[in-house]
Amino acid sequence: MILDDYAQSWARTIIDGLNRPFPWGSAHQSSGPDDVDVTPWRLHPCFHGCLDWHSSAHMQWSALTLIERAHQAIDRATIDELTGILDARLTDANAHVEAEYLRTHRGYERPYGWGWAALLSATCAASTVSTRHLEWASATAIIGRQVFDNLLTWLPTMTFPVRTGTHDNTAFGIGLCLDAARSLERRDIVEAIIEHSHRFFDADVNYPSSWEPSGNDFLSAALSEAHLMARVYDAEGRSDEFGAWLHAFLPHLGHADDTLLDVPEVTDGTDGKLAHLYGLSLSRAWQLRALTTWLDDDARRRIETATQRQISKVAAQITDGDFMATHWLVSFALQAVMA
């Protein structure tokens, strides 16, 4: 899959999702009878549309990423629509509302939404797309700082990591935060994630990846952990040592019988939970490709074939599927293609 071939249709899908206010899943925990207004654009002026907060955040990351990487394959009117949405959402005033919400609801979107919001902040800060990115960077930095404050408070309280295949997976969320913190040169965040990742995962061996997936996974707990630790070792300047950890953790990765190379079957793409399995194919492709450096040639060849299949089998759902798929899959497809 070549990014330019899909950029225009993915951009239109992003616009459709961000401009669709309902259905809306606020995940808001009310503190009393006067705290029940979940009007999307009031509660979350930056991150509404696309069904929920985290999907809105990562589809805005997708919008900026497409503008940066594939602008030549997107028509001018569509780019103007994308930038118009970012202009309207990513203002300092809106960001202060979001940051205050995160300050007073410290478990909200932890850690999945945190990771995507932080990555959006880092991408805005590094953008060269136009002078507009300076305003987007200013706004998302306000949110990103609160995310990182929450992260520093939360990580030491975690006795054990969460190893699910959904939003509360610890490795996936803090992996995105690590990517963002490195780009933003937040050494305090990088050091905290390194410390706690080693505490959580150093001793893991022979992970039973054949037990995956569960019925509504969009992440592989096995690959999310391995992908995180690859970045942790890299952040320490010890990438050459990561292979030993990986082979102890997933000794059959990339072998002919490795079930992580499979494409899960989705029986009802209109069911939001079952549609998660479309995303699992894409996240597997993304993370498998990121891990091939430490595998032998045969495993690399199998992974290349498998990931092409995982992406192609889901390609139609990214733009033409039910809203339960189209409101978020572009982000995972982008990561898989860029891996």
Question: Which pLDDT belongs to residue 1?
Answer: 64
Q: Which domain holds residue 55?
A: 1-24+40-196
pLDDT above 90 (res 250): yes
Q: Which of 170, 196, 222 is the last residue of a domain?
A: 196
Cα dihedral: 168, 215, 274, 335 (round 10): 50
Mean pLDDT of the region 75-100: 98
Assess whether 307 and 327 both reside in one domain.
Answer: yes
Question: Which pLDDT belongs to residue 11?
Answer: 98
Distance CA(248)–CA(259), nearest Å, equals: 17
Question: Which pLDDT belongs to residue 87?
Answer: 97
Assess whether 91 and 18 both reside in one domain.
Answer: yes
Assess whether 179 and 227 both reside in one domain.
Answer: no
* Residue 228 in domain: yes
User: Which tokens go with 97?
Assistant: 């509302």
Assess whether 128 and 49 both reside in one domain.
Answer: yes
User: Which tokens go with 255?
Assistant: 């072998």
Assess whether 105 and 177 both reside in one domain.
Answer: yes
Question: Which pLDDT belongs to residue 132?
Answer: 84
Assess whether 186 and 48 both reside in one domain.
Answer: yes
Assess whether 133 and 211 both reside in one domain.
Answer: no
In this prediction, residue 95 has a pLDDT band, given cuts at 50, 70 and 90, of very high
Assess whether 141 and 272 both reside in one domain.
Answer: no
* Residue 320 in domain: yes
Assess whether 301 and 160 both reside in one domain.
Answer: no
* Residue 118 in domain: yes
In this prediction, residue 129 has a pLDDT band, given cuts at 50, 70 and 90, of confident
pLDDT per residue over 21-46, tens digit each?
A: 999 999 999 999 999 999 999 999 99
Question: Residue 31 carries which side chain, given as an amino acid letter?
Answer: S
SS3 78: helix
DSSP class per residue in 9-27: HHHHHHHHHHT---S----
Burial of 137 (0-12, 13-18, 19+ CB in 10 A): buried
pLDDT above 80 (res 146): yes
What is this structure's pTM? 0.98
pLDDT above 90 (res 130): no
SS3 271: coil
* Residue 29 in domain: no
Mean pLDDT of the region 141-168: 98
* Residue 35 in domain: no
Residues 6+ positions from 236 with CB-CB distance below 8 Å? 194
pLDDT per residue over 52-85, tens digit each?
A: 999 999 999 999 999 999 999 999 999 999 999 9
Number of domains into which the chain is organized:
2
Q: Is the dihedral of CA 331, 1, 172, 166 positive or negative?
A: positive
* Residue 119 in domain: yes
Which of these, 213, 210, 293, lies nearest to 246 by C-alpha position? 293
Distance CA(338)–CA(120), nearest Å, equals: 16
Assess whether 85 and 214 both reside in one domain.
Answer: no
In this prediction, residue 327 has a pLDDT band, given cuts at 50, 70 and 90, of very high
Q: Which of 176, 196, 216 is the last residue of a domain?
A: 196
Which of these, 242, 101, 104, 117, lies nearest to 173 by C-alpha position? 117
* Residue 30 in domain: no
* Residue 263 in domain: yes
